[in-house]
Amino acid sequence: VKGDLYLKKYESNGDDEGVTTTKVQVVDDPSSVDIFDIVLPLPGYNIQYPSNEIGELYREMLRKDSLDISKNKIAEATAKGGYRKLIQRASQTKWDNLSEDWKEDSSEDQLVTAAKITFELKSGCYATMLLRELMVTTMVRGDNAKR
């Protein structure tokens, strides 16, 4: 969305050849930005807020909670802030079917009743969110859809 924030990668042309740096930028043309580069700010004095309705929502919530996140003399009373990706891809994703009644060569759409899932996420990502998204279609197909 126009006004969102994203991480733009820059290749170094100086002495640090081959080094990639990133900088937070404002989205001007949404079609030119990959959704996996979109970031959300973690409130603090050293961050940029989106220049759209989301940025205004951040400012409104901070005002309602009477929070003034600005750099002051007391280091413990301030937050530097940061950015977190809106969507993070899991890596090393694997799954094994543990269902006892599973037929490997079946052409029918079978229900998986037990599975072992392994994956890696970057620090700060929630595995429970990934598992919830993986199980949404399974729950809809099961008995819960009849209720």
Express each pLDDT in 28-67 by its tens digit. 999 999 999 999 999 888 889 999 999 999 989 988 988 8
Q: What is the mean pLDDT of residues 80-101?
A: 89
Q: What is the mean pLDDT of residues 112-140?
A: 82
Cα separation of 95 and 115, whole Å?
A: 7
Q: Taking the model in full, what pTM does it have?
A: 0.68
pLDDT digits (tens, 9 = 90+) for 102-114: 777 777 777 778 8
- Strand, coil or helix: what is 83? strand
Q: Are strands 115-120 and 91-97 parallel, antiparallel or unpaired?
A: antiparallel
pLDDT at 77 over 70: no
74 or 56, which is more confident?
56
pLDDT at 95 over 80: yes
Backbone angles phi, psi at 38, to 5 degrees: -70, 135
Among candidate residues 71, 88, 89, the one with its CA nearest the CA of residue 80? 71
